[in-house]
Amino acid sequence: MADKLKVGVIFGGQSGEHEVSLISATSIINNMDRDKYQPILIGITKEGKWLLYRGDEGLIKDGRWQKFGVPVIFPPDPSYKCLIVQDGTYKSIPVDIMFPVLHGPRGEDGTIQGVFEMAGIPYVGCGVVSSSVGMDKVVSKELFKAHGLPQCDFVGVLKNTYLEDREGVIKNIEDRLGYPCFVKPANMGSSVGISKARNRQQLMEGLDLAGRYDTKIIVEQCIKGREIECSVLGNHQPMASTVGEILPSNEFYDYDAKYRDQGASKLIIPAPLDDEKIDEIRGLAVKAFKILNCSGLARADFFLEEGTQRVLINELNTMPGFTDISMYPKLWEASGISYGELIDRLIQLALEKQKFK
Ligand SMILES: Nc1ncnc2c1ncn2[C@@H]1O[C@H](COP(=O)(O)OP(=O)(O)O)[C@@H](O)[C@H]1O
Ligand SMILES: [Mg+2]
């Protein structure tokens, strides 16, 4: 049998979604076909240190792995394509492909993808521009708008502009959106820094809060409706899964409803909708994927507006939650692709993309 493909599975990372990444990565490692693939585990600490981990996979999800990790560097020079252990031996560990299982800033935003591009190594998921545009809610919404995708009205605000002209910024938001509205950092995830503003006081508080996480803020018209998600898989001919619905346990799908309330938020797969609506959503998911020129995977999130029944895109996540109970793999499972097969396909798609380049 040919040599197994050495897959660098990268987990942890410096974003607020470090812990989620540990759980996603544990599921991926446990479900990877060991006859074909040899996982090489690389953890990134919250401080940004890269550590090679050769211990028990069961110690990853609660962070105990970190005690046993050995410092390692991954040179961006394409003549290496290996990790170099920093324990005095400078031993090199060859890697064939990278699988970044990192959510949020410095993982899902094109930055680490840029390192892989420099190194000339294939990697799972979206490229630099798709990742960074997918992460930036203002840029992605501008792009969706340019392509006529239905979405809510929004206003992008630079923190600097707000600090210089609070009155003008608030007046503009009130004129264009009114209340209630949603205030978010442009580049975050896991609902961190997001709030709903019902009046001017709350809008100012929301802008201050969002401004703590990013230098760019987005304010959106508040949509009343259901939250529907769809998984997309592929490169040039992406496929859409069936769709799922989120029933948040809180007023909106905030951080607690996502992670703290221990499954109090419910995922319903497939979403109880008629076939026509499901197809409309699947079509829009593929369209959004193509607009951002994604590759490998993305999860498209929508609102189904109450009353009008319009399907509005909320965002495209280029590295969605990947634990074995997460929406992305669950939607594929319901569409006939098991978790293990999904990993296999993602790796193959990354290799195909590299070949195409
Ligand atoms: N314009 C909006 N109208 C109504 N609810 C919203 C709106 N934007 C966000 N939300 C609520 O906030 C949650 C998190 O917002 P989202 O933009 O998806 O941020 P994140 O990238 O952190 O997931 C959504 O799942 C939804 O419950
Ligand atoms: Mg979201």
On whether the CB atoms of residues 339 and 31 are closer than 8 A, the answer is: yes
Q: Cα-Cα-Cα-Cα dihedral of 115, 117, 120, 125, to 10°?
A: 100
- Shared domain check, 158 and 145: no
Tokens for 51, please give them.
């550590």
Residue 159 lies in a domain: yes
Residues 184-205 pLDDT 10s: 999 988 888 999 999 999 999 9
- Shared domain check, 293 and 165: no
Say what the pLDDT of residue 262 is.
Answer: 61
Ligand 1 near 253 CB (within 6 A): yes
- CA of 159 from ligand 1 middle (Å) equals 20
| Mean pLDDT to the nearest integer, 279-304 | 98
- Shared domain check, 163 and 299: no
- Shared domain check, 248 and 351: yes
Say what the pLDDT of residue 264 is.
Answer: 78
pLDDT band at 261 (very low <50, low <70, confident <90, very high): low
Q: Which atom of ligand 1 is nearest to the CA of 252?
A: 27
Give the integer Cα–Cα distance in Å for 194 and 116: 31
Say what the pLDDT of residue 251 is.
Answer: 86
Give the integer Cα–Cα distance in Å for 241 and 230: 6
- CA of 253 from ligand 1 middle (Å) equals 7
Say what the pLDDT of residue 169 is.
Answer: 97
- Shared domain check, 90 and 185: no
Residue 349 lies in a domain: yes
Tokens for 309, please give them.
């029944």
State what percent of residues in the chain have pLDDT above 70: 98
> Looking at 221, 241, 258, which one is the last position of a domain?
221
> Looking at 221, 241, 262, which one is the last position of a domain?
221
Helix, strand, coil content of the chain in percent (nearest 5): 35, 25, 40
Q: Which atom of ligand 1 is nearest to the CA of 301?
A: 18
Residue 290 lies in a domain: yes
Total structural domains within the chain: 3
Ligand 1 near 188 CB (within 6 A): yes
Q: Which residue reads 């923190």 in tokens? A: 159
Ligand 1 near 189 CB (within 6 A): yes
- Shared domain check, 291 and 248: yes
Where residue 169 sits, what CATH number does that domain have?
3.30.1490.20
pLDDT at 258 over 90: no
Tokens for 335, please give them.
């569409």
Nearest residue to 137 via CA among 220, 209, 195, 204: 220
- Shared domain check, 304 and 170: no
Which residue CA neighbors atom 21 of ligand 1 most closely? 189
Give the integer Cα–Cα distance in Å for 34 and 211: 45
- Shared domain check, 184 and 75: no
> Looking at 174, 197, 221, which one is the last position of a domain?
221
| Mean pLDDT to the nearest integer, 253-282 | 88
Tokens for 169, please give them.
């910024």
- Shared domain check, 350 and 241: yes
Say what the pLDDT of residue 189 is.
Answer: 80
Residue 94 lies in a domain: yes
Residues 127-175 pLDDT 10s: 999 999 999 999 999 999 999 999 999 999 999 999 999 999 999 999 9
Residues 102-120 pLDDT 10s: 998 899 999 999 999 999 9
pLDDT at 260 over 90: no
Nearest residue to 182 via CA among 215, 220, 147: 220
| Range of the structural domain that residue 186 is part of | 154-221
| Mean pLDDT to the nearest integer, 276-302 | 98
Where residue 237 sits, what CATH number does that domain have?
3.30.470.20
* Average pLDDT of the residues of the chain: 95
Ligand 1 near 186 CB (within 6 A): no
Ligand 1 near 182 CB (within 6 A): yes
Count of all residues that appear for the chain in the document:
357
Q: Which atom of ligand 1 is nearest to the CA of 154?
A: 1
Residue 292 lies in a domain: yes
- Shared domain check, 60 and 28: yes
Ligand 1 near 248 CB (within 6 A): yes
Say what the pLDDT of residue 255 is.
Answer: 82
Which residue CA neighbors atom 2 of ligand 1 most closely? 222
Say what the pLDDT of residue 1 is.
Answer: 54
- Shared domain check, 66 and 107: yes
Where residue 46 sits, what CATH number does that domain have?
3.40.50.20
Distances in whole angstroms, Cα of residue 62 to Cα of each of 17, 57, 113: 13, 11, 26
DSSP string, 146-161: HTT-----EEEEEHHH
Say what the pLDDT of residue 254 is.
Answer: 85
Residue 212 lies in a domain: yes
Residue 128 lies in a domain: no
Residue 331 lies in a domain: yes
Ligand 1 near 109 CB (within 6 A): no
pLDDT at 263 over 90: no
- Shared domain check, 260 and 340: yes
Say what the pLDDT of residue 289 is.
Answer: 98
- CA of 314 from ligand 2 middle (Å) equals 7
